[in-house]
Structure 1
Amino acid sequence: MISPSVYPAILSFLVLTSSAAASDGEPTSTTTACTASSTSGAFFDLRHDAAIKPKPDGSRPSHSRGAPLTDYKARGWDYGSNFTLNICNAVVEPIEDVKDIEESKWQNISAYYVSKGDYYSLGFQSAKPVTRGKELVLQYTGGSHCGAKKSRSLSLSDRSTVHAGAAYRDYENEEDEPTSPTPEGSDEGENENEDDSDDSDNDKNNNKDDEDEVRRKSTTIFFSCDRDTIGGNAQVSFVAVDPDECNYVFKVKSAHACATAEPHKPGSVGPGSVFAIILVVAVFVYLLGGVFYNRTVGNARGWRQLPNYSMWASVWSFICGVAIAGGEFGCQIDGTCPLGSAQLPSDGPSQMNHFVKDDGINLFRIPTSWQFLVNNQLGGNLDPSNLSKYDQLMQSCLDTGAFCMIDIHNFARWDGQIIGQGGPTDEQFASFWGQLAGKYAANDNIIFELMNEPHDLDIGIWAQTCQKAVTAIREAGATSQMILLPSTNFDSAATLDWSLLAITNPDGTTDNLILDIHKYLDEDNSGTHAACTTDNVDVFTTVARYLRSNRRKGFISETGASSDASCMTAFCAQNSFINTNADVFTGLVAWGAGSFSTSYVLSLTPSNQNGRLVDNTLMKQCVLATWNNAHNNSTLPTRTSAATSTAVSSSRATTATKPSSVLVLTSTLLSIPTGLLTASRGAAASNFPTNFPTKSNNTISASPSPVDTTGLLVLTDVFSGTTLSTLALATGTPPPRSGFGDLITAQSDAPLRTQAATTASESSLSTPAAAAVSIAVGTSTLWSLVFVAAISLI
């Protein structure tokens, strides 16, 4: 027994089945009238050969497309009558008294001839030419009656030739008629010879051998390609008729009978649709696959389920912001950070609201220390009380909708001991970051800066330490946030190290792993002097080239200058360059606001004027204006010369690259200018020749003359052999914050290059525009291949 619950389903099925059956009985055609396609792909369009009726005033209709306005005429030669026909359409000229055809159908006749004043149809209109092999054929059927009869016409061979202008003639019995008596008592109409008879009863009486079923005349038109037709119009010729005068054959020469490429058929899937379908499928696979992976593997929810959400969320704008300082106050470069020195800014939330609402800033860097977050308990868990204080500032940042960067301001140390190199273990550092990342894993606007300004350490070991921290962050659930990878030498732009490029996410990718970069413009890159003496456009040109060649991105998480006149030009030029090279520079953070007073040399803290926060000139011109101008106008900055540069030019240099980012200058002639020069013997320079003139204080005085410095020094923690081009020895003693590598790059005019460094690939990626063109060409090529492959399968 069938359950009553299934009746609705059965009824629905029957309705659908009946609908389908009804639709099957009403086939639709997508073939365009008067066109045909062969199995080999050839396409024929005869619409231009179909004659159409002119307007009542005799003018050509607007939709005529050059079609003729009169019917085609074909000479009958030995047949005895000439023919009138049209292609695909009914004949244009009106006709009447058509034998064996109802009057209502006269208007649909496409071919006919006239005999003894009567019209004989050769078939009704058809707009469906077909291809048979290499032949293009059009047929008309349903004409006047025809068939073999004893009393019928003379054979074609007995007929006389008709001239071209004849309308009709009676050629039958023209010799026999005088000697053919009419039988007595017979009906004259029964003995009269005609081409065809419209009386089927008489046919049966006089021709008993006729077929029981009436046959009708038809037309077969063969088309041939002829691009040299006179005036471009088709030419029609009568070819033959069968003995029963039922099938009439014509040949048409026309340029439109030549095969062409088949256009898109209405109702079918064209090339553009195929491409769109492939694109839509690819997008759906990308979205659904990414969502499935992020939900099941990454336990993501909400918008974070979308694949590469962080990248797409930030792809439309360069991130520009300000450091809200205070939490790092008291921290020294040896990693000592007294808890009582931290001064989280009480007006930090109001400053951030001002920067976002009034200035459009979309990033804040919020420094703190490792000691503060764990209440000075190395290896311990995050301290709830101190974490709550820091988190209040972070939540105020997140409430603005901006990106919020967690900055651990420890210089890769804990109370003088290097992390992973005699001090805190890698595991302790990774555990700390795992706990902190778990706290903010659900928010994609968080940026993790692993460490502020590491220095004087083994970069290879430090890279391994960073790798463990990255793994801990990702495994804590922060799978899509940006992580900034700090190098040595105080994160200097001059010392990006190749070791950092080997750091990956747990899945082996480098998505959202960004190189951390700091750079100031004063004489020692410390950000402690008012005057700006360095052309950082030179420096960042080198950095941009490095990033493009390695297909990575950098983040300038700390840079700054004073309001000194020398800085208003240099700082603005630097920031303009960074903004307009956003293909490799993800963001920029200017130092600093927060707990800094407005009198601080690098202050960007807004002043309170009658209860309203107002930015200083440096903030307006060199941070906000350069950011807005670069993205509104898409213009590159005008390059400025270095303010003051004591450089030593290289007249000849041969370089070789060693592992671990060691660049060896093996044969260099330097022209030493007059003055005091310092050669550092620190970690960044070694292998001084024994005959190199030095004093106890490492200071030498030399007159302008070539000095052979073969084997002079080995520079570590600098770019590979494709980045520097001139060597410079800086004046003054390198301060702890700077290091030798900073001075070299800051004092150099152009990047150092090996003899084989100038390659076409690097040149092609030297500008964002060129890189964009390269990406566009590559993408177009890829989709072209996909398109061709798809077409080949259809």
Structure 2
Amino acid sequence: MIKSLFSAAALVLALLCQPALAACLDGKPLAGVNLSGAEFAAEKLPGKVFTDYMYPDLDEMRLFQAMGMNAFRLPFLWERVQPQLFGALDQAELQRIKDSVAAASSIGVCLILDVHNYGQYRGKPIGSPEVPRAALVDLWQRLLANFKDPANVAFDLMNEPAKLPTAEWAATAQETLSALRRKGSRHLIMVPGGGWSGAHSWYAKDGAVSNADAFRFFHDPADNYMIEVHQYADANFSGTGNDCVEPARLSAIMANVALWATSTRRRLFLGEFGVPANQPCLAALSAMADAMKGNPAWGGWTYWAAGQWLGTYPFSLQPDSGGERPQMSILRKAMPSKDTQ
């Protein structure tokens, strides 16, 4: 109880003392990390907070801000924040997200709200009779009503929407973004590619449609969005292995998707990428960092992942008793230069 009072007091003091910075809207490149934890224990719904899942705190954000980061992606579960489709948001879970937003705002960084659901709700895909497309629109309109200020909040429509066809996802994303704009949203919006959002599979057909096809004519009346891709370095690009492909292969993947973005006048956001800390994988990470550095096709990135509960997870960026993780020295290469910060 005493610790929670001190934490609340520290947050209030930070809010009063820190300048308001529009980190999501200032046009500067984003560089950060996924703060993992709120998406944990998806098999336990709703689950018990700080037993099954947890949210990051202000100290954790300050830690990574001190390393040069200006953005954090916050994965959370649709089912926890909205227990019934088209129903009211759960006030306790909503408050936890609000607390995270307040913490990010107090130190002038951008917090990206990521619905980490793979294109489904309680196991049923978006577009099915059980989860109509309008359900996602409803969720985001309710979130918009609670996070109206776009200065330090960005919206990430759906993590890796692999549970529905790419063409269906692209149409759903377009409908959702358009609805948010009609409701007055001025937020930066991340629009993930279909499937697993892989940069390596951007031109691969899902049926007759690839992500390159599906998002070629995506439209935002506010022109304030990024197409989100993910890229891992193991042999099947799933982010589950401890071995990595050769750096040249990743350089080519990154160059190809950037060429698509340039030719279609899109900006890219690398929402997830990560490697274990062995030398071949650090070389792979370096190739991805080099591909983004100074390339205007890339509007930002968030590494996967950090979090106080990640333990021995090999991709973790969470500092341990030895200090910063080896991946951090590589990521600094992809940080925005001082004149763009």
Question: Same fold per TM (> 0.5)?
Answer: yes
**Is the counterpart of residue 454 in structure 1 residue 161 in structure 2?**
yes
How many equivalent pairs are there?
307
Q: State the distance in 2 between where 1:337 and 1:476 align.
A: 33
Q: Secondary structure, in 3 states, of the residue corresponding to 2:238?
A: coil
Residue pair 2:55, 2:96 contacting (<8 A) in 1 also: no
Aligned residue type for 1:492: G
Letter matched to residue 327 of structure 2? L
Q: Normalization by structure 1: what TM-score? A: 0.37
Deviation (angstroms), 1:408: 0.4
**C-alpha contact (below 8 Å) 2:77/2:117 kept by paired residues:** yes
Give 1:622's aligned amino acid.
Answer: I
Q: CA deviation at 1:361?
A: 0.6
String of CA shifts for 1:536-568, please: whole Å, max 9, x gaps. 111010011101111111100111111011111
8 Å CA contact 1:421, 1:461 repeated in 2: no
Tell me the SS of whatever aligns to 1:464. Answer: helix
Aligned 8 A contact 1:485 1:500 in 2: no
Note if 1:482 corresponds to 2:188.
Answer: yes
Look up the match of 1:597.
Answer: 310
- Is 1:554 the counterpart of 2:299? The answer is no
Q: Of the candidates 421, 431, 447, which is equivalent to residue 128 of structure 2?
A: 421
Task: Give the match for residue 54 of structure 2.
Answer: 344
State the alpha-carbon separation in 1 of the partners of residues 180 and 44 from structure 2: 24
Give the share of equivalent positions with the same residue, in percent: 25
The CA distance in 2 between the partners of 1:320 and 1:406, in whole Å, is: 15
The Cα shift of 1:454 comes to 1.1
Letter paired with 2:62: N
Determine helix, strand or coil for the equivalent of 1:378. Answer: coil
Q: 2:245 maps to what in 1?
A: 533
1:84-483 correspondence runs (5 A): 313-314=26-27, 317-331=28-42, 338-340=45-47, 342-345=52-55, 348-356=57-65, 358-374=66-82, 376-479=83-186, 481-483=187-189
How big is the shift at 1:447? 1.3
Cα gap change, 1:593/1:407 in structure 2, threshold over 3 Å: closer, same or farther?
A: same
CA positional deviation for 1:365: 0.5
Q: Cα deviations across residues 576-602 of structure 1 (Å, max 9, x unaligned)?
A: 211221x11100100111234341111
The alpha-carbon deviation at position 430 of structure 1 amounts to: 0.5
Please state whether the residue corresponding to 1:502 is helix, strand or coil: coil
CA distance in 1, matches of 2:289, 2:21: 32
Q: Tell me the CA shift for residue 359 of structure 1.
A: 1.1
Structure 1 residues 606 and 616, CA gap change in structure 2 (3 angstroms): same
Rounded Cα–Cα distance in structure 2 between residues aligned with 1:553 and 1:606: 31
- 1:510 CA displacement: 5.8
Kindly report which structure 2 residues correspond to 1:611-690, keeping only aligned pairs within 5 A, or say none.
614-619=323-328, 621-624=329-332, 626-628=333-335, 631=337
- Preserved CA contact (<8 Å) 1:438 1:478: no
Distance 1:450 1:633, change over 3 A: closer
CA distance in structure 2 between the partners assigned to 1:571 and 1:484 by the alignment: 22
Following the alignment from structure 2 to structure 1, what is the Cα–Cα distance between the partners of residues 321 and 96? 24
For the residue of structure 1 that corresponds to 2:215, the secondary structure is helix
SS of the aligned residue for 2:85 comes to coil
Which of 277, 291, 303 is the aligned partner of 1:577? 291
Query: Which structure's residues are more often helix, by fraction?
Result: 2
Alignment RMSD? 2.4
Paired amino acid for 1:554: L
Q: Structure 1 residue 492 and structure 2 residue 198: aligned?
A: yes
Q: Distance in 2 between matches of 1:550 and 1:337?
A: 42
Deviation at 1:499, TM superposition (A): 2.0
Q: What is the aligned partner in structure 2 of residue 16 from structure 1?
A: none
Q: Which runs of 5+ in 2 are unaligned?
A: 1-19, 203-210
| 8 Å Cα contact 1:366-1:407 kept in structure 2 | yes
Contact 1:598 1:604 in 2 (8 A): no
TM-score (normalizing by structure 2): 0.83
Cα deviation 1:760-783 (Å, max 9, x = unaligned): xxxxxxxxxxxxxxxxxxxxxxxx
Matched to 1:370, the amino acid is W
CA–CA separation in structure 2 for the residues paired with 1:383 and 1:632: 41
CA 1:321–1:445 in structure 2 vs 1: closer, same or farther (change >3 Å)? same
Q: Does 1:504 align with 2:192?
A: no
Equivalent position of 2:225 in the other structure: 513
SS at match of 1:488: coil
How far residue 456 of structure 1 moved from its aligned partner, in angstroms, is 4.8
Higher RCO structure, 1 or 2 (CA under 8 Å, sep 6+) = 2
Show CA shifts across 1:450-479 (max 9, x none): 000011522222222112211232233322
Does the 8 A contact of 1:431 with 1:472 survive in 2? no
Cα distance change on mapping 1:421 and 1:351 into 2, 3 Å: same
Alignment correspondent of 2:208 = none
Query: What does the per-residue CA deviation read over 1:741-778, in whole Å, with 9 as the maximum and x for residues that have no partner?
Result: xxxxxxxxxxxxxxxxxxxxxxxxxxxxxxxxxxxxxx
Helix, strand or coil for the counterpart of 1:380? coil
SS at the partner of 1:570? helix
Residue identity in the other structure for 2:290: S
State the AA in 2 paired with 1:594.
G
Deviations 1:4-30 (A, max 9, x none): xxxxxxxxxxxxxxxxxxxxxxxxxxx
The yes-or-no answer on 1:588 pairing with 2:294 is no
Once the two structures are superposed, residues 248-304 of structure 1 have per-residue CA deviations (whole angstroms, 9 ceiling, x without a partner) of: xxxxxxxxxxxxxxxxxxxxxxxxxxxxxxxxxxxxxxxxxxxxxxxxxxxxxx999
Contact 1:318 1:579 in 2 (8 A): no
Report the CA distance shift for 1:488/1:597 in structure 2 as closer, same or farther (over 3 A). same
Map Cα deviations across residues 666-724 of structure 1 (whole Å, 9 max, x no partner): xxxxxxxxxxxxxxxxxxxxxxxxxxxxxxxxxxxxxxxxxxxxxxxxxxxxxxxxxxx
Paired amino acid for 2:273: T
Distance in structure 2 (CA, Å) of the matches to 1:598 and 1:303: 33
The secondary structure found in structure 2 opposite 1:344 is coil
The answer to whether the 8 A contact 2:80-2:93 is kept is yes
- Runs (4+) of structure 1 exceeding 6 A deviation are none
Change (3 A) 1:498 1:468: same
List alignment gaps of at least 5 residues for structure 1: 1-301, 635-794
Query: In 1, Cα distance between the equivalents of 2:87 and 2:312?
Result: 38
